[in-house]
């Protein structure tokens, strides 16, 4: 069972993206929804709104406990902010700058590069944050114009773009599912 934080944001897009490759998904809105989940997805949305709703719904502490126990987690866009320094669950040693590209006029679709490979995939950036600094414990997974746009530390994966909006490209969802099923190969990303 994989949970998707369902308080606000593009929850249904993540749900259909995951359902195309994994059979059981649960929308998480309250602490009891966490029982039995093997992975958690934090969708795109507004991080300020989500943070308030996480606190008021009583999810802050139980999710933190699960993350510290190593629960696989994948944050896209707003989810990245929640899982980085200054976020509500800072399990990744990364610093992010919110809305770093500017207003919606600067949102765009790019062809970003998978780190260490000559592979480019479409990446949708919507009022995206920038990962401006990472510690040595953080593995850089993808880059766009010199900016870090995807990272991994332990079982946590962050993408500042929206893989769920380009569902034909399964690279990142597969990476997360590998973490969930425990078969994490050294990397589908580095051959």
Partner 1 sequence: MNTEEKNLVNRGLAQMLKGGVIMDVTTPDQARIAEDAGAVAVMALERVPADIRKQGGVARMTDPTIIKAIQSSVTIPVMAKVRIGHFMEARILEALEVDYIDESEVLTPADESHHINKHDFKIPFVCGCRDLGEALRRISEGASMIRTKGEAGTGNVVEAVRHMRTLMQDISRVTAMSIDELPACAKELGSSLELLREVKQLGRLPVVNFAAGGIATPADAALMMHLGADGVFVGSGIFKAQNPSRVAKAIVEATTHFDDPVVLASVSENLGSAMEGIEIPSLSQDKLLASRGW
Tell me the catalytic residues.
Answer: 77, 162, 164
Choose among 81, 91, 32: nearest CA to 59. 32
Q: Does 20 bind partner 1 (CB under 8 A)?
A: no
Task: Return d(Cα 49, Cα 9) in angstroms, integer.
Answer: 9
Strands (E), the chain: 2-5, 25-28, 39-42, 73-76, 94-97, 108-114, 120-125, 130-134, 139-144, 147-153, 156-159
Min dist. Cβ of residue 45 to partner 1 (A): 5
Min dist. Cβ of residue 122 to partner 1 (A): 9
Smaller CB separation from partner 1, 49 or 188: 49
Contact residues for 123 (Cβ-Cβ < 8 A; gap 6+): 109, 110, 111, 112, 142, 144, 149, 161, 162, 163, 166
Q: Does 29 bind partner 1 (CB under 8 A)?
A: yes
Helices and strands per DSSP (H, E), number in the chain: 5, 11
Q: Does 129 bind partner 1 (CB under 8 A)?
A: no
Q: Does 57 bind partner 1 (CB under 8 A)?
A: yes
| 84-113 binders of partner 1 (CB under 8 A) | 98-99, 102-105, 107-109
Min dist. Cβ of residue 69 to partner 1 (A): 26
Q: Does 183 bind partner 1 (CB under 8 A)?
A: no
Task: Return d(Cα 123, Cα 159) in angstroms, integer.
Answer: 10
Cα 15 to chain centroid distance, Å, stands at 13
Q: Does 44 bind partner 1 (CB under 8 A)?
A: yes
Smaller CB separation from partner 1, 89 or 125: 125
| 161-180 binders of partner 1 (CB under 8 A) | 162, 165-166
Q: Are 100 and 132 in contact (CB under 8 A)?
A: yes
Min dist. Cβ of residue 15 to partner 1 (A): 12
Residues that bind partner 1 in the complex, under the rule CB under 8 A: 6-13, 29-30, 44-46, 48-49, 52-53, 56-57, 77-78, 98-99, 102-105, 107-109, 124-127, 162, 165-166
């Amino acid at each position: 069972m994989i949970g998707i934080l369902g308080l606000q944001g593009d929850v249904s897009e993540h749900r259909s993206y995951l359902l195309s490759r994994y059979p059981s998904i649960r929308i998480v809105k309250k602490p009891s929804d966490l029982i039995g989940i093997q992975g958690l997805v934090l969708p795109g949305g507004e991080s300020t709104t989500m943070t308030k709703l996480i606190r008021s719904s009583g999810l802050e502490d139980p999710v933190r406990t699960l993350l510290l126990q190593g629960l696989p987690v994948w944050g896209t866009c707003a989810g990245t902010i929640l899982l980085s320094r200054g976020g509500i669950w800072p399990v990744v040693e990364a610093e992010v700058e919110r809305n770093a590209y500017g207003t919606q006029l600067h949102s765009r679709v790019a062809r970003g590069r998978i780190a260490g490979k000559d592979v480019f995939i479409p990446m949708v950036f919507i009022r995206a944050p920038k990962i401006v600094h990472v510690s040595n414990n953080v593995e850089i997974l993808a880059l766009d114009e010199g900016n870090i746009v995807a990272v991994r530390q332990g079982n946590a994966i962050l993408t500042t773009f929206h893989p769920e909006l380009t569902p034909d490209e399964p690279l990142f969802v597969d990476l997360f599912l590998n973490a969930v099923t425990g078969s994490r190969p050294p990397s589908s990303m580095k051959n």
